[in-house]
Structure 1
Amino acid sequence: MPVQGPVVALWALVAMSAVAFGTAFWRRWAPPLWVALAVGLGVRAVTVALSYDLTPRDVAIYFQNAGRLVLDGADPLTGLPRFQWNFLPLMPYIFGAEISTGLPWQVAGKIAPVLADLAMIVLLMRLGGAERGSLAAFLYAVCPLAILVTAVHGQVEPVSLALGVGALLAARRGGPGWAGLLAGLAVASKTWPVILIPGILREVPVRRWWAVTAGAVVAPLLLLASIPLFLHDSVREAVHVLTSYRSLVGRWGWAGVLNYLDVAGFGYAGPKIDTIQRVGTLVTAVAVLSVLVLFRKADAIALTAALLLAFLAVTAGFGVQYLLWPLPFVLLLQKRLGLVWALLASGWAAFFYLVTVPYPKLNYFTEDTLRWSSLLVIAAGVAAIPWRDRSKEATQPVIAAPKPDQLPRKPVPAGG
């Protein structure tokens, strides 16, 4: 097959990245920021080149079409078939700019995700502080999961995450207005970053929550206003499409098992898909509320990691790119179980991108493999939830008691 050579090379790259990831964690590598950025950019550039013919259909076709519609002054929300684009036009505007570069779409469409990943490396360095931040930044640079979602898939997730993590950093540094604006942009890029808002608010005094809220509504409102101005569509029709969004059902978790048992269909529509989605929404709401209660005293990083890992455990609708959501927060926590989850999630994603996508004739085998192995990834994710960090005290570093020979000595009296 024409993709065989690149697939083999990508598997080798994934293996080397996984080894680098594990080694960096165990040896506590904390290189300077420029090293993490150089490694991150280099491995992603190579991956973009190798995956030229492997970009999944949603990015290769749907996102490209969304960008072309914007360039023609049309709204992707209503101009594309249902479920091909279901979000505000922030990213389609970016897709249009990428198309305008004149580069082949398989390259141009990955400019924004790669740049967002480089921004994420910087953000993790700033959020984590000296040694912890340097390690988290390098781990993200070499993590196979981040490389695959960004440089093979070219999905929106890296952009959404960079905006969301940037909002958290702004909140921590005392800029609630900027935090709200970045959070609003994250939600405008895709809807799911709304899950990040509790962690952002955790970093802001309650009396300043209004500033976060005000900032967060600006970007979505401006993008809604741009629809009749630039895309010649009605806000009412756009909102209808936005509120009817659902994720694909079929290969993940409990919904995937129901699909295997022929209780539910596969995809966005089919037998009992509506029921499964409604049940999934209810279960997800219960899980999120439970985490908010259990982690009400946790710091922002632990709370956000718990929310996102819990979401992945119970969601009915799922895309492989969702695995990227908890990664920055898991890397900042730097727990061993988090490392295990990141490697398992990387393997799951690699199987999808490097077996399911290039070899569709094997789908009967690959779908079953993805379905049942997802249960292992979910179990690892639940174990990686920072249960011991449910209180602020639990997340504070433990200061070791000084040894006897390190205790300050009493001054000797003069003449004594």
Structure 2
Amino acid sequence: MLLFAVVVLAVSWLGKAACLQEYRTADGVLALDWRNDRQYVAMCYSDTVPLYGLEGLADDGVPYRDAWFESAADGSRVERYMEYPVLTGFFQYLNAQLTDGWMWLSERLPLPSALDVVVYFDITAFWLAAGWLAVVWAVLMLRPERPWDAALVALSPLALVHAFTNFDTVTVALATGALLALRRDRPGWAGVLIGLGAAAKLYPALLLLPILLVGWRRRSSGGLPRAAWVVGAAIGSWVAVNLPVALAWPRGWAEFFLPNRTRPADPDSIWYSLYWFTGWAGFDGRLADGAAPSVLNAVTAALMVLAFAAIAWLAWRAPRPPAVAELGFLVVAAFLLLNKVWSPQYSLWLVPLAVLALPRWRLLLAWMTVDALVWVPRMYQYLGVEAKGLPVEPFLVTVLVRDAVVVWLCVLVVRQILRREPEPGQDPDPVWPRATGPVAAAPVPPGPGAGPSSSLLGAGQSAGPVAADEIGLTAGATGTDRPEPPRRRRVRGTPERGAAVREPWPNRSERRDPPTRS
């Protein structure tokens, strides 16, 4: 699986390589060749290239401390800082420092070299590729019985197009790693990874809602304390990363929140299509440059709250406890569909969640292909019709088609949650165990020394028969002492003779981690 991912990532890098070409200007200076809108014609645009210069990284600027000035539409000068969350900001800074080190070494050693911005892109691409490889590995560990799920992530058309468009693969790796930690009964580490992911891009914080909802459904087997532990660890790790920067450079730290407040509806959002095809001026009417769309912000926030409340009601009323991946997909999809911004690389957020929540590879591959193809009219509409580009309408139509497919995926996930039993032959979700029969068995008390019931693990996987020492019948036996045989009575949670066997809830001592694979 990792080999498949390496091949896809190599092809993805080659797709961006057209934007890394160099040429000499009339003055003999080596420059990046983005002449004649090459970044749009070749569809090789990546945010990493312009941000290297725009955010002061090329001049050794320290994120959130050092500012620069941009000219507004009215001619005034606006002070700007790094606009990304803290972990992503310092990720860029680290790569810029590694670029400086490589350039210094290449002047003294026989090492390959290029423009500093090209070296910066290559170093950044290395870490982004490592992030996606981590995503593939985590999905493989989450679903070892379905290796084709990991193959679908590895071969995803979205990874082919957007692995190096921005910095999101690292965040997706942290979020997927949190699911794996949850599967392996490590709620503290799951929370830490979610907190770090939220410090890179805020979307992993959305996973806390599904974890709390499923923890509430599993509260009788210790799910709620474990979910609370995840939330606490997530908050702690996020604060640990953000607090020092917020105290040292409060204005720079707040920059991330300011542009998002004043940002209008992006062309990739459903709101922009609504404006364009209806001629409606929007909730706020025509805004002055830099003015915040306050009404749109309030409407999108209210709709998200309603959507999350509906998902919570679904989790509560479902005949069987849903899986974290199922609810996580619904939450993230609702956020993207209702938000005023859906940058193309945001679709990577959905890939592992969709694969884990909905085991229908043909449908998922069709969605990923449609979503990846949005990139083509998006690039060519920037050229304009005069430069042999495309009008905006084809781009907006593909956006609406993408949105419709994602909505259909959400419908299928909801139907799956509302089923009393999984479909025949359907593999269980890997982040939550649930009984496959119509009625779940009662919880089995854990043995001495066992932690809380592992209620935040994979779904539907049988724990196998319960050994006597795992339910406390051999407690106190030490050394060569043999326990007295139990009295002839039915242990709570075990079936009567001849009755159908139902799955007990596994505790920590019963858990079997999947074998590690390369």
The 5 Å alignment of 1:15-414 reads 33-52=1-20, 54=39, 56=45, 58-62=47-51, 65-66=54-55, 68=57, 71-75=60-64, 85-99=82-96, 100-101=98-99, 102=102, 104=118, 105-130=120-145, 132=146, 134-151=147-164, 153=165, 155-201=166-212, 202=214, 205-227=223-245, 233-235=248-250, 237-238=251-252, 240-244=254-258, 245-246=260-261, 249-260=265-276, 261=279, 263-264=281-282, 273-296=293-316, 297-332=321-356, 333-335=358-360, 336-353=362-379, 355-356=380-381, 365-385=390-410, 386-391=413-418, 393-395=420-422, 398=425
For 1:162 and 1:267, the matched residues in 2 are separated by: 38
- Aligned CA distance change for structure 1 residues 193 and 284 (closer, same or farther; 3 Å): same
Q: TM-score, normalised by structure 2?
A: 0.61
Q: Which moved more, 1:212-221 or 1:391-400?
A: 391-400
**Aligned-pair CA distance for 1:281:** 1.8
Residue-by-residue CA offset, 1:191-225 (whole Å, 9 max, x unaligned): 22211223444478211233212321233222223
Residue-by-residue CA offset, 1:50-95 (whole Å, 9 max, x unaligned): 4536354743223555472894445169657678743432112221
**Aligned-pair CA distance for 1:149:** 1.3
Q: TM-score, normalised by structure 1?
A: 0.74
- Aligned CA distance change for structure 1 residues 397 and 75 (closer, same or farther; 3 Å): farther
For 1:243 and 1:338, the matched residues in 2 are separated by: 33
Gaps spanning 5+ residues in structure 1: where?
Answer: 1-32, 401-416
Contact 1:122/1:137 (<8 A) preserved: yes
The 3-state SS of whatever aligns with 2:341 is coil
- Aligned CA distance change for structure 1 residues 51 and 295 (closer, same or farther; 3 Å): farther
Gaps spanning 5+ residues in structure 2: where?
Answer: 21-33, 71-78, 103-115, 216-221, 428-518
Residue-by-residue CA offset, 1:216-257 (whole Å, 9 max, x unaligned): 12332222233278xxx433x345434433455141344113
Contact 1:259/1:266 (<8 A) preserved: no
Contact 1:124/1:136 (<8 A) preserved: yes
CA RMSD of aligned residues (A): 3.4
**Aligned-pair CA distance for 1:174:** 0.5
Identity of aligned residues (%): 20
For 1:392 and 1:207, the matched residues in 2 are separated by: 27
- Aligned CA distance change for structure 1 residues 267 and 317 (closer, same or farther; 3 Å): farther
- Aligned CA distance change for structure 1 residues 163 and 63 (closer, same or farther; 3 Å): farther
Opposite residue 215 of structure 1, the aligned amino acid is A
**Aligned-pair CA distance for 1:274:** 2.9
Opposite residue 328 of structure 1, the aligned amino acid is P
For 1:223 and 1:196, the matched residues in 2 are separated by: 19
**Aligned-pair CA distance for 1:167:** 0.6
Opposite residue 179 of structure 2, the aligned amino acid is L
Q: Which moved more, 1:383-392 or 1:75-84?
A: 75-84
- Aligned CA distance change for structure 1 residues 285 and 47 (closer, same or farther; 3 Å): same
- Aligned CA distance change for structure 1 residues 142 and 357 (closer, same or farther; 3 Å): farther
Q: Which moved more, 1:44-53 or 1:264-273?
A: 264-273
- Aligned CA distance change for structure 1 residues 357 and 125 (closer, same or farther; 3 Å): farther
Residue-by-residue CA offset, 1:120-165 (whole Å, 9 max, x unaligned): 11011111222x2x212221222221221113x1x12211111011
- Aligned CA distance change for structure 1 residues 310 and 77 (closer, same or farther; 3 Å): farther
Opposite residue 335 of structure 2, the aligned amino acid is F
Residue-by-residue CA offset, 1:304-331 (whole Å, 9 max, x unaligned): 1122222232222221222222111222
For 1:36 and 1:346, the matched residues in 2 are separated by: 18
For 2:393 and 2:426, the matched residues in 1 are separated by: 48
**Aligned-pair CA distance for 1:344:** 1.2
The 3-state SS of whatever aligns with 2:163 is helix
The 3-state SS of whatever aligns with 1:75 is coil
For 2:370 and 2:418, the matched residues in 1 are separated by: 28
